[in-house]
Amino acid sequence: MKFEILGILRVVDGGAHRTPSAQKVRTLLTTLLIRPNEVVSAEQLIYEIWGEDPPRRARAALHVYVSQLRKFLAGPEEPEDRIITQPPGYLIRVPYGDLDVNVFRRHLQQGRTHARAQRHEEATLALGAALKLLHGEELDRLQGGGITRNFVTWLEEVRLECQEMLIESSLSLGRHRESVSTLQSLTARYPLHEAFYRQLMIALYRSDRRAEALRTYQSARGTLREELGLDPGDALFDLHHAILLADDRLQLRQAV
């Protein structure tokens, strides 16, 4: 049995995908999976499920949801109960490789290591594998208390890091033409993330699209001024100046 929380919550069992039908049971399972093999207190679970306004008999209701979750996870291939009652709350037992977020972390760390060592081919493979696990709109789906919010914040940050490193390694491998459309989508989705504008300008310039690279800078400057009242940072400003001068260093595989 494997578990997926980097998208639509799913339990993969014998090739079949299953999801608890009740929203509160889904929230319970998600919260426990965010902290696998770790006790989550009853108070924390109650807050994740009901927020600031739990019902009067919230503990009794939580006990019912735990029981429903145990039944959902039970099966002939599951000889042991995965949900363990351990004061002050509950934990779910999950082997490291059976949870997609753990596999994602492993690929991400491998990508970081390869990128820092300038092993860009290996970095793109590891980072691409990590990004493939981020299916669906998990940030729109996940709701709850502090555990869930912290997870969502972390996930958004590492998604950006992973995507940025993947593009950086791709540019270092001379894959600038293939990167343009991806970067155009990323700048549209993250209009305040200057690193993607920088990478798009480099990719366009190396693809003999100098005018579009310069227009990208103007677009970034307009967006940042409108949204934040700020001018682009030094990295974008210096890159814009280098493109105007057709600086030979822009043709190097190392991104400016």
Task: Categorize the per-residue pLDDT at 179 as very low, low, confident or very high, splitting at 50, 70 and 90.
Answer: very high
Name which of 59-73, 139-153, 156-170, 194-208 the model is least confident about. 139-153
**Segment (H or E) for 158:** helix 146-172
Q: What is the pLDDT of residue 253?
A: 47
Residue range 189-210, pLDDT digits in tens: 999 999 999 999 999 999 999 9
Identity of residue 40: V
Q: Helix, strand or coil for residue 16?
A: strand
Q: What is the pLDDT of residue 249?
A: 85
**Segment (H or E) for 146:** helix 146-172
In which region does residue 15 sit, left (phi positive, over 0), alpha (psi from -120 to 50) or beta (all else)? left
**Segment (H or E) for 40:** strand 40-41
Q: How far is CA 226 from the centre of its chain?
A: 27
Cα distances from 245 to residues 213, 235, 238, in angstroms, run 13, 16, 11
Q: What is the pLDDT of residue 142?
A: 57
Long-range contacts of 209-213 (CB under 8 A, 24+ apart): 209/180, 210/243, 210/246, 213/243
**Segment (H or E) for 18:** strand 16-18
Name which of 94-103, 142-151, 243-252 the model is least confident about. 142-151
Task: Categorize the per-residue pLDDT at 256 as very low, low, confident or very high, splitting at 50, 70 and 90.
Answer: very low
Residue range 15-52, pLDDT digits in tens: 888 999 999 999 999 999 999 999 999 999 999 999 99
What is the value of pTM for the model shown?
A: 0.89
Q: Report whether pLDDT(244) > 90.
A: yes
Q: Got the DSSP string for 41-99?
A: EHHHHHHHHHTT---TTHHHHHHHHHHHHHHHH-BTTB-S-SEEEETTEEEE---GGGB
Q: Report whether pLDDT(180) > 80.
A: yes
Task: Categorize the per-residue pLDDT at 212 as very low, low, confident or very high, splitting at 50, 70 and 90.
Answer: very high
Q: What is the pLDDT of residue 81?
A: 87
For residue 141, give the DSSP letter: H
**Segment (H or E) for 27:** helix 23-34
What tokens appear for 187 in the block? Answer: 């700048």
